Amino acid sequence: MWFAFVAAGLALLVASGLYARRRIATALAELGVGPRWVRAVRWLIAWLLFGFPVVMIVAIVASLLLGRSTLPRFDGLVAGWLLAIPFALASLVIAQATLWLLALDLAALFVRRPRIRAYATIAIVGAFAIYTPARILAERRELRVRTHRVGAGPATLRIAFLSDVHQDVHTDGDRAREVYALVNAGAPDLVLAGGDWINTGPDYITAAAEAAGTLHGRLGVFSVRGDHEHFAYRDRERSVAEIERAMHEHGVQLLNNDVRWFEHAGKRVAVVFLGYTYIQRADRATIERLLASVAGAAYTIVVTQILYSGGTFTGSSSGLSGFESFQIELNTWFWISGVFLVVVTAGTWLFVQSDAGRVLVAIRENEPRCEYLGLNVSRVKTLLLAASAVIASIAGYAFASVQMVVAPEYAGFVFGTELTKSKPLSSNQPSTSPIDCFVSCGWRYWSSWKRSSIVRRHLTKLSAPAGRPGA
C-alpha cells in the first residue's frame, strides 16, 4: 500500500510543478525576457523538480533487473548536492508558492493587469526561494527538547522518547552522539525510541548501533521498528535482522509486536511495542492480542512508528499535537477571529456586488448561457474553489494554533501521531481504556531538510509523581 502514497505524492508534485513552471515562464515572457532564456528557465525548473525522481526510479528499476542486494542510494555528497538537495529545495518552494499563484490567478480574472501579475508571480516565487534556504540555514543545527510533567510529587519515572535519527553521511555518529548526550543528561529511567536509526543501505548499521549504544536508561533502552529498518537491503527480513542484531549487541532492544513490563512505585507498567509502519502493519488481531495481554497493568504505554487510525485502539481519537504556536491569550484569539470574520464577510459582500460577482451570479443562474457567451466557466469555478481553500486554510491554521491539536473531528481525516492520556494510579484497578499513553514518532520536514544535516526531531522527557508514571 505504500506505493499508493508515493504515487499520490508524485502526482501532486508533477501537477503543481507544471503549473508553477508555466506561470513563471509566462511571467518572464511578459516582462520582456527573451525566448531563449525563458526556455532555459523552463528546462531548469523541470530538472530541479523532476530530475531526481526520474533518476531515482530508473536507478531502482535497473537495480531490480540486475538483481542487486541493495537499492541505489542518493545520500552521497555529489548525488546529494546535484540531485537530492536541489530537488528538496525546489519542491518546498513550489509547494509554498502554488497556493499564492492560484490566488493571484483568481485576482487576475477581475484585475486585468498582465505586467503587475508577472511582477507578482516573480516576487512570490523569489520570496519563497530566498526564505526556504535561509530558514534551513538558520535552523540547521537546532535541536529542541520538549519536557512534560504529569502530576506532582518527589518520586518520578523519567522516560525519554526520540525517533528518526536517520544516521547516514549527513547525520554521522558524532552528531547522533550529541543528541544522545542530551538524552543522557536528563538521567532517564527508561529510554523509548520510534525507530528509523538509519537512512538507507547497510553501510551505517554498525555505526548507528554503536552511537545508540551510548544511550543510558536505568530500566534499559527499547525501540520499535521504523520503516527505514527495512531499507538496508532489498530483502526486508535481512535488513531488519541485521539491524536488530547490531542494536542488541550494543544494548538497544529493537522490538516488534512485543510487550515489556516495568515496576514503578509498586505499580506495574506495561510498554507495548507495536509494529505499525507504511511498510509493515500489525493486523487487528495482533493489536487486540497485545492490548489484552496488558489488561492488568496499572499503566499502559504503546510505542509505534506510525499509527494511521488510533480511535479504536487508543480509546480516543487520533490527533496531531505538540507543534509550535503563538503565545497569545484566548481573548486575543477571539478578537482576531472576529476581525477575520468581519473582513471576510465584508469583502465577500463587496465582491458579490461588483461586476465580477455578477459574473458568478450569472454562472449560477444560467451556466450554459455563460459558456455560450465565451466565459470559461470551468476556470472560474476552479479559481473560486482555490480562493475558498485559501480562506479555509487561514481559518484552519488559526483554529489549530489556538486549539493546539488537529484531530479528525476537526479536519475529517484520521492520522495518529502523538496521544497522551493519564489516569490516577491510587488503586490497582485496571484501566477502563485499553491504552493510557500512546507515543509515536513525530518528525518535521517542512522547513528542515535532512540532507542538509538538519536534525530536528522530537525528543521528549516526561516526569510523573510516585504512583503515576509518565511516558
- Chunked mean pLDDT (size 10), the chain, 471 residues: 67 88 93 92 91 86 84 75 88 90 82 87 94 89 77 76 88 88 90 91 91 93 91 88 94 93 87 85 87 88 72 49 70 82 84 82 87 86 82 80 66 39 38 45 33 30 37 36
Cα dihedral 169→171→176→177 (10° resolution):
60
Q: What is the largest CA-CA distance in the chain?
A: 80
Report CA Rg, the chain.
26
pLDDT given for residue 325 in this prediction: 72
Pairing between strand 299-304 and 267-274? parallel
pLDDT given for residue 460 in this prediction: 33
Strand residues in 105-248 grouped as ranges (E): 145-149, 159-162, 190-193, 221-224
Distances (CA, A) of 31 to 18, 24, 25, 100, 111: 20, 11, 10, 19, 18
Residues facing residue 440 across a β-bridge: 304
- Give the integer Cα–Cα distance in Å for 269 and 262: 5
Task: Note the pTM of the prediction, 2 decimals.
Answer: 0.67
196's torsion region: left (phi>0), alpha (psi -120 to 50) or beta? left
Query: Do 256 and 285 touch, CB atoms closer than 8 A?
Result: no
Burial 248-283 (b: 16+ CB within 10 A, else e): eebebebbbbbbbebebbebebbbbbbbbbebbbbe
pLDDT given for residue 2 in this prediction: 56
DSSP 8-state class, residue 420: E
pLDDT given for residue 29 in this prediction: 93
pLDDT given for residue 310 in this prediction: 44
